[in-house]
Amino acid sequence: MVAKMKEESSKEIYKKRKTIVEPVFGQIKKNMGFREFSVRGFIKACGEFSLVCAHNIKKIVKSMRYKLEHLKEGKLGLMAA
């Protein structure tokens, strides 16, 4: 693994992972206080993690609400599609 991580292509892939994946888990741990599963078993843990993933839905709703409020006030120009 050490030799593989020394390759340039591996470094580029790892850079992307740090910006895409890792912040989400950090935000879930910090903002929601989720540190460990409170249930046992794979199926039950999957269900609990699905509830935790509602974090993304909360972020989407917050973003949409922000944009709608600013559109109504005329503070936000038309967004490019």
CA distance 29 to 23: 10
Average pLDDT over residues 60-73: 84
Residue 79 lies in a domain: no
Number of domains in the chain: 1
State pTM to two decimals.
0.40
Q: What is the pLDDT of residues 13-65, one digit of tens each?
A: 887 776 666 777 777 777 777 878 888 999 888 888 887 877 778 888 888 88
Residue 60 lies in a domain: yes
Domain range for 58 is 41-73
Residue 33 lies in a domain: no
Residue 61 lies in a domain: yes
Residue 62 lies in a domain: yes
Between residues 68 and 28, the one the model is more confident about: 68
Is pLDDT at 78 greater than 60 in this prediction? no
Residue 63 lies in a domain: yes
CA distances from 28 to 11, 78, 81 (A): 26, 32, 29
DSSP class per residue in 37-73: -SS-SHHHHHHHHHHHTHHHHHHHHHHHHHHHHHHHH
Residue 66 lies in a domain: yes
- For residue 42, the model assigns a pLDDT of 92
- For residue 81, the model assigns a pLDDT of 44
